[in-house]
Chains A and B, each alone.
Chain A
Amino acid sequence: MVNPVAGLGGRVGLGGTDGPDRARTALSLGARPLAGVRAAAALGELAARAGESPRDGLLVVTAAGPLGAESVAAAGLTERIVYAAGAGRDTSAEDTAAAVRAVVAQGVGLLLFAGGDGTARDVLGALGSPGGVSCPVLGVPTGVKMHSAVFAVSPRAAGEVAAAWLAGPGRVRLRDAEVMDRDEDALGAGRVTSRLFGWLPVPDVPVRVQQRKTGSTAPAPEAVGGIAAEVAERVGAGLLALGPGSTTRAVAAALGADVSLTGVDVLALRPGRPPRVVARDAGEDALLALGPVWIALSPIGGQGFLLGRGNQQISPRVLRAAGGRERLLVLCTEAKLAALGGRPLLLDTGDDALDAELSGHLPVITGRRQTSLYRLAR
């Protein structure tokens, strides 16, 4: 599924192209559509690597013309068209949603979409409830805004990940990746910020790790179990509020509790026994009512937001009541931290004084008896 107007605004200084007017303006300013070309690059990579998979052929279910079929043809792959936009009009977000639904209805193994944050939101909207999507999804990055974590690092990398997924779905795990986009409400109020809209399941192929199969020194295993052990030791017997996200959820699972992906849940940790869930989907008031809690957070999305995106329940009041920095546990695997490429973790609680207080270097728990000191900034 290609959003043909994704990325149009970038080169002409318009930001995103959400909505038909912006796309038309971009075209009139001389922007050239690139999404289809990038999608073709991803599909080309997929075609080149599909030869390595045990499958004989590869069928791409898509929508007509610039919504996908053009890119599929450019990559030399076999297509089946299941949707066409009405003739003679600009494509829209509605087309995206309809095309996605038509494609997924065919029972595809993977939904590959080319676009930006806005497109990711449209895909999420088309596929159902936030956090409840079952069809694996992967984004080919072609948009201007790329705050979401559902995109591969490059179009060709998307093709490679897709090939790995299709070659052996059992070998590649899925991770829940955040869909984020600019917060239009806040923009209206003069603030440029982003918002968490939900999660999509994305094949998790850490490329650098995968490359090590034949090499010299084995990398450390995924450290979620170690992070959980460290959290348990630090908290001892006490209340632990877990922010949303896949890392915190995996840590809770390692501790023996099932928590939701999207909400803030509170566990009572009891050494030697499995934790008890004392609050689910807790709001600010519920958190305040519980008294002092430890707060465990994991960075959200490709930009590394720690506070203020998707976890606004953990408000300045909650943070202050908990005891600030001292009671804040930042959880992140080394690999995820490395993927930030040196950019700081971000916070935006809406309380400047608290933001200033929390900013600076913070220990990030990366494993058992193991932390990284990492910068947290506004």
Chain B
Amino acid sequence: MPNAVFRTLNDGACRQEVYTQRLLLLWSMTDPRVGSRERRGMTSPQDSVHTYTHPYIPNAVPAVRQAMLEEIGAEGVEDFYADIPDGIRLHRPLDLPAPLRSEAELTRHMEELLSRNTSTRQTLSFLGSGCYQHHVPAVVDEVVNRSEFLTAYAGEPYEDHGRFQALWEYQSMMAELLDVDVVNVPVYDGFQAAGTALRMAGRITGRRRVLVATAIDADKLSRICDYVRPDHDVTVVPVDPDTGCADLEAVREALAAGDTAAVYADSPSALGIIDEALPRLAELAHADGALYVVGCNPLTLGVIAPPSAYGADITCGDIQPLGLHQSFGGGNAGFIATRDEERLVAEYPSRLFGLVPTSVEGEYGFGDVAYERTSFALREEGKEWVGTAAALHGIGAGVYLALMGPQGMREIGDTVLGLTAYARRRLAEVPGIEVPYGDALHFADFTVRYTGGGTADGVRAGLKERGIFGGVPTGEREAAYCVTEVHTKADIDRLAATLEEIVK
């Protein structure tokens, strides 16, 4: 393994530069095997000044281990590996870097790595496109970092009553926000939620085709296509290039084939547009017997109508904007929501917690709504898996919604809509920049085009040099920007001024 310069920390005199050096060349050696042990300077415990039992492995204390073996009547731990054939045993130690045994050493190493990151707290960032920089209230972090929640897993509704209640309350608050009766325990992310929502629609309608009617993120589309492939074909109906909005005529034509399981729309779309045609798409889908599936950013819903209000049968999306850190894309989690109809509920492949009474009068508890028992559960045609997904993100989003309340959700919606409109107007004033899609309502994300000399890559690099993250290229001369409530008017003015320097 190419880790030749990974030196043990037992040698004492490690300076900051040594760590940096180590990281840079960490895995760069071409021949991992030759002499790597020597080069790495790996020590065995006997060589070390301090001998130790690792703090995470208590029964490695030799006397304890020996006593346990004796009580079992075993010669050694080898006895327990009797079924593993010798031919596939690894008769050497794993070739790994020497351990950073103490917390002090580990922390120093990690600090050196983290110092090579620049966060969006340190730099003005206008990045969005599926991961959003919103303020995370301190109470959200306080709750999700509690050991009781962070380290629990899948206990029963008794000793883990708190988890069940917190997640049921998350479902309930999302249900209020989305104006539906049924919301699931979170799935991996918004992409997965969309893929599953479309498969649900396919199982309900028994039809094959999925129509995408609004602008969709290329990665999201790729994930959906891969996921529904065994049962469905995906047709993307291009949006009107001038307005960025759905091409209703083209959607109507595509629906004429009559084999459409679902019309899918995103609100906002990948272009940041909340399409005025969203209600019309519902009518078109329903007229054809298809379901209407809408992916939405839940943070918009303090001011924007929930998709169920304009005809969505299934709503899905990502809850990262609801108080979850960006974490380099690690904070995404997905939701799926429907009316409380048995035929819809029967198709959720994910967990739904329900409130139930207990054997004590007046006390309540929770459990899994047993959708598999309903006569509508015809799931043999398109099974999906249920596994560990993103429950703690659901608890975090629930805390966020409780803190925000109806007023907070309205205010944040107003602020983001206002700042997005301001940013589009302000950047459009910059010579060499055009902001397409006219009057369409945008939330957070928006597109700019560079009509001057610069390319999207060049502009992005120029911004970074001037201490601004932004302008993710979406074409050679086109890029995505994003503003949220963490930005001020002055931040946007600074962006505009900086772009003016770069783009001209």
Direct contact of A and B (CB under 8 A): yes
Partner of B378, one of A214, A219, A225: A225
Partner of B381, one of A215, A218, A220, A368: A368
A221 part of interface (Cβ distance < 8 Å): yes
By CB atoms of chain B within 10 A, which of A213, A217, A218 has the most? A218
Q: A217-B386, A219-B372 are in contact. Are A229 and B381 (CB under 8 A)?
A: yes
Partner of A218, one of B157, B378, B380, B386: B386
**In A200-238, which residues have CB < 8 Å from any B CB?**
213-221, 223, 225-226, 229
Q: Chain A contacts of B378 at CB under 8 A?
A: 225
Q: Chain B contacts of A368 at CB under 8 A?
A: 380-381
By CB atoms of chain A within 10 A, which of B154, B366, B377, B380 has the most? B380
Tell me the complex Cα distance, A219–B383, Å: 12
Q: Chain B contacts of A225 at CB under 8 A?
A: 378, 380
Nearest CB of chain B from residue A51's CB, rounded to whole Å: 10
Q: Chain B contacts of A215 at CB under 8 A?
A: 156, 367-368
Nearest CB of chain A from residue B472's CB, rounded to whole Å: 38
Nearest CB of chain A from residue B360's CB, rounded to whole Å: 14
- B380 close to A214 (CB less than 8 A): no
B126 part of interface (Cβ distance < 8 Å): no
A308 part of interface (Cβ distance < 8 Å): no
A36 part of interface (Cβ distance < 8 Å): no
- B370 close to A216 (CB less than 8 A): no
Nearest CB of chain A from residue B302's CB, rounded to whole Å: 34
Q: Chain A contacts of B109 at CB under 8 A?
A: none
Q: Chain A contacts of B156 at CB under 8 A?
A: 214-215
- A220 close to B367 (CB less than 8 A): no
- B367 close to A218 (CB less than 8 A): no
Q: A218-B386, A219-B372 are in contact. Are A213 and B377 (CB under 8 A)?
A: no
Partner of A229, one of B366, B367, B380, B383: B380
- B154 close to A216 (CB less than 8 A): yes
- A213 close to B381 (CB less than 8 A): no
Closest residue to A227 on the B side, CB-wise? B380
A367 part of interface (Cβ distance < 8 Å): yes
Nearest CB of chain A from residue B370's CB, rounded to whole Å: 6
Nearest CB of chain A from residue B357's CB, rounded to whole Å: 13
By CB atoms of chain A within 10 A, which of B154, B157, B368, B371 has the most? B368
Q: Chain A contacts of B157 at CB under 8 A?
A: 214
B343 part of interface (Cβ distance < 8 Å): no
- A226 close to B380 (CB less than 8 A): yes
Nearest CB of chain B from residue A12's CB, rounded to whole Å: 39
B379 part of interface (Cβ distance < 8 Å): yes
Nearest CB of chain A from residue B20's CB, rounded to whole Å: 45
Chain B 369-408 near chain A by CB (<8 Å), digits 1 or 0: 0111100011111010010000000000000000000000
**In B148-204, which residues have CB < 8 Å from any A CB?**
154, 156-157
Nearest CB of chain B from residue A226's CB, rounded to whole Å: 3
Nearest CB of chain A from residue B332's CB, rounded to whole Å: 23
Nearest CB of chain A from residue B199's CB, rounded to whole Å: 15
- A214 close to B381 (CB less than 8 A): no
Q: How many of chain B's residues have a CB under 8 angstroms from any CB in A?
A: 19
Nearest CB of chain B from residue A49's CB, rounded to whole Å: 13
Tell me the complex Cα distance, A229–B381, Å: 9
Tell me the complex Cα distance, A221–B349, Å: 12
Closest residue to A226 on the B side, CB-wise? B380
Q: Chain B contacts of A226 at CB under 8 A?
A: 380-381
Tell me the complex Cα distance, A220–B367, Å: 17
Q: Chain A contacts of B351 at CB under 8 A?
A: 217-218
Q: Chain A contacts of B373 at CB under 8 A?
A: 221
Chain A 250-265 near chain B by CB (<8 Å), digits 1 or 0: 0000000000000000
- B368 close to A218 (CB less than 8 A): yes
Q: Chain B contacts of A367 at CB under 8 A?
A: 380
Partner of B372, one of A214, A221, A229: A221
- A218 close to B154 (CB less than 8 A): no
Closest residue to B350 on the A side, CB-wise? A218
Closest residue to B366 on the A side, CB-wise? A214
**In A343-378, which residues have CB < 8 Å from any B CB?**
367-368
Nearest CB of chain B from residue A21's CB, rounded to whole Å: 50
Q: Chain B contacts of A219 at CB under 8 A?
A: 372
Nearest CB of chain A from residue B336's CB, rounded to whole Å: 15
Q: A225-B378, A367-B380 are in contact. Are A214 and B367 (CB under 8 A)?
A: yes
Nearest CB of chain A from residue B373's CB, rounded to whole Å: 8
Partner of B379, one of A213, A214, A221: A221
Tell me the complex Cα distance, A367–B380, Å: 7
Q: Chain B contacts of A217 at CB under 8 A?
A: 351, 386
Closest residue to B386 on the A side, CB-wise? A217
- B372 close to A220 (CB less than 8 A): yes
Nearest CB of chain A from residue B385's CB, rounded to whole Å: 10
Q: Chain B contacts of A221 at CB under 8 A?
A: 372-373, 377, 379-380
- B154 close to A223 (CB less than 8 A): no
CB<8 Å pairs between A and B, sample of 21 = A213-B367, A213-B370, A214-B365, A214-B366, A215-B156, A216-B154, A216-B368, A217-B351, A217-B386, A218-B351, A218-B372, A219-B372, A220-B383, A225-B380, A226-B380, A226-B381, A229-B380, A229-B381, A367-B380, A368-B380, A368-B381
**Additional A-B contact list (20), CB under 8 Å, known A213-B367, A216-B154, A368-B380:** A213-B368, A214-B366, A214-B367, A214-B368, A215-B156, A215-B368, A216-B368, A217-B386, A218-B351, A218-B368, A220-B372, A220-B379, A221-B373, A221-B377, A223-B380, A225-B378, A225-B380, A226-B380, A226-B381, A368-B381
Closest 9 CB pairs of A and B: A226-B380, A214-B367, A368-B380, A221-B372, A216-B154, A221-B377, A214-B157, A218-B372, A367-B380
